[in-house]
């Protein structure tokens, strides 16, 4: 079906796959401050999945609290990252398929 794909189709597919992979590597993080009775949660920004923001700095900037790292933790928020990655993938596949459709020529029936 896609034997005669154009260079532009290949570029669209490659860039979609790259964006999809990048969304899974550069993910949002959140900081959570645990107190007795209630927990607070705030965004800690985006960072690479293998190097999240430091918990003490994120706690200081989000909650203005100087606390031990046992009460404050930083975690990856993978839900939005997976949704973004899947959206890039589906969009690039759809664009790839649309670009692959060709109009019938006059001799074709």
Q: Where are the alpha helices (DSSP H) in 30-109?
A: 55-63, 78-100
Q: Look at the chain and count its residues.
A: 109
Question: What pLDDT, on a 0 to 100 scale, did the predictor assign at position 105?
Answer: 60
Q: Any idea which of 24-28, 60-64, 101-105 has the lowest mean pLDDT?
A: 101-105
Domain boundaries, the chain: 7-100
Tell me the whole-structure pTM to 2 decimals: 0.71
3-state percent breakdown (helix, strand, coil) of the chain, nearest 5:
45, 20, 30
Binned at pLDDT 50, 70 and 90, residue 6 comes out as confident
What is residue 73's predicted lDDT score, i.e. its pLDDT? 84
Q: Is pLDDT of 2 > 60?
A: no
Given a cut of 70, is residue 102 above it in pLDDT?
no
């Amino acid at each position: 079906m896609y034997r005669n794909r154009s260079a532009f189709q290949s570029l669209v597919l490659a860039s979609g796959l790259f964006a999809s992979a990048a969304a899974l590597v550069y993910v949002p993080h959140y900081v959570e401050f645990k107190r007795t009775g209630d927990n607070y949660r705030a965004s800690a920004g985006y960072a690479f999945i293998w190097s999240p923001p430091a918990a003490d700095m994120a706690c200081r900037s989000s909650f203005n609290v100087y606390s031990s790292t046992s009460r404050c933790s930083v975690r990856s928020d993978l839900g939005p990252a997976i949704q973004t990655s899947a959206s890039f993938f589906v969009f690039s596949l759809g664009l790839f398929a649309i670009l692959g459709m060709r109009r019938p020529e006059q001799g074709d029936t």
